[in-house]
Amino acid sequence: MKLSLLCLGLVAAVCSLSAKADTSTRALSSVEAALVAAVLNLQSNTTLLATAASTTSASTPTSASSTASLSRRERYNLGNILAKRSDYVTLTNGTNPIDGSAALKAPGYLTYKVISNTTTYSAAKAACLNYCDSTKGCIAANMYQEINNPLLDLVFSEKSNRKCALFSTVPCLSGLTNRGGQRLYGNNSPANYIINSAVFYKDNGPATPPGYAASYGPSTEAVSLFDSSFLDWQLVPSYDPALCANICNDSNHTSCVFFDIWTADIQSRNTATVCTLYSAAKTASDATMSNVDVLIVTNSRGYSRST
C-alpha cells in the first residue's frame, strides 16, 4: 500500500510516506496483537491512557483508565502547560478556495477551542497559536469557520463559528478533507460547511530529553518489535519524547538505553502515540518497520541514552 501525501517545503520529509504493508498471511505475534488491540481500543473512545509513565507490560495493555463519563472534547484535552513560543510556518492561510473550504482531519488530534470571529484575522491567528503554545504536545493548529453548526451558533458561550483545532503531528494539505455536509439544524436545513481554513505548524521538532541524544527522525519507519533488543511498548497521551524517556528511565526498564517514539496511524486519521523500548542503541538503518498490521508508522524518532 502506498500513501502519497501532498505536502509543502519542510514537511515533505514527514508527510511523504510509502507504507510497506505486510502482505503475508502470518498470524500476529502476541506483542503485535496486544499493541494493535490497545490502539484500536483507544481510538474507539472507550478508554484513555491514564498516565504517561504507565508500567503495564506489553502482553497486558490495560494501562488505560475508563473515561466513559467524559465528553469527547474532555477526553482529548490531555492537559495544558505553558510552553515557549516557537516560530510557525503557514501551510495554507485560508484564502485558497480548495484548501480553505475544508478542515484538517489528520493524525495527532489533541483538542480544540472556539475563538472570537469578531476580531481581525491577525488577532484570531494570534489567539489560536497562543492556545497551541499553552497546550502540551501541540505542534500544529487549524483555524477555520464552520457555518450552520447550532452548537457554535446557539449553544457554546462564545457565540462564534471560528474554531482552533490542535494537533501533535506536522500536517499535510492532503489532510484537509472535512468539508462538512451535515444537516445539523434538521433534515431540511442547509448543510454545514467550512470556510477560511488556515493551517500553521511549528518548524522545530520536539525537545530532546535530558540524558538522551537524537538518533534519527522524523521517519516513516521505526525499529522492529522483532529486534533482538526489543523490551516493551507503551502508549503515551501526547507526542512528547520526554514521556518515553521517563518510561525508559523507570525501575521496570533498567536495561533500556534506546527508545523510539512514533505515531500509529490508521487510515491517515485515527492515531495513538507509541513508545518502543530497546536494550541496545539504534540508528536510522535499524528502523525498518513501516507498519504493525493496520497500524502505519509515521513521525518516528529515535533517541539513545547519552549519560
The per-residue pLDDT for 244 is 96
Which segments of the chain are extended strands (E)?
47-49, 64-66, 88-92, 103-104, 109-115, 140-147, 162-167, 176-178, 193-202, 212-219, 222-223, 230-236, 258-266, 270-278, 287-289, 291-292, 295-305
Give the span between the Cα atoms of 307 and 302, in whole angstroms: 16
| Residue corresponding to grid cell 485558497 | 96
Chain segment 111-160, per-residue pLDDT in tens: 999 999 888 899 999 999 999 999 988 989 999 999 999 888 888 888 89
Q: Does the model's pTM come out above 0.85?
A: no
The per-residue pLDDT for 129 is 94
Looking at residues 226-255, what average pLDDT do you find? 92
Please name every residue paired with 45 in a beta bridge, in sequence order, or none if there are none. Answer: none
Chain segment 58-67, per-residue pLDDT in tens: 333 222 222 2
The per-residue pLDDT for 56 is 32
The per-residue pLDDT for 44 is 64
**What's the mean per-residue pLDDT of the chain?**
77
Per-residue CA distances from 169 to 19, 68, 122, 184, 187 (Å): 17, 26, 23, 29, 36
Q: In this structure, what is the dihedral angle of CA atoms 154, 103, 50, 260, given to the nearest 10 degrees?
A: -170
The per-residue pLDDT for 15 is 45
The per-residue pLDDT for 229 is 96
Q: Please indicate whether residue 25 or residue 155 has the higher confidence score (pLDDT).
A: 155
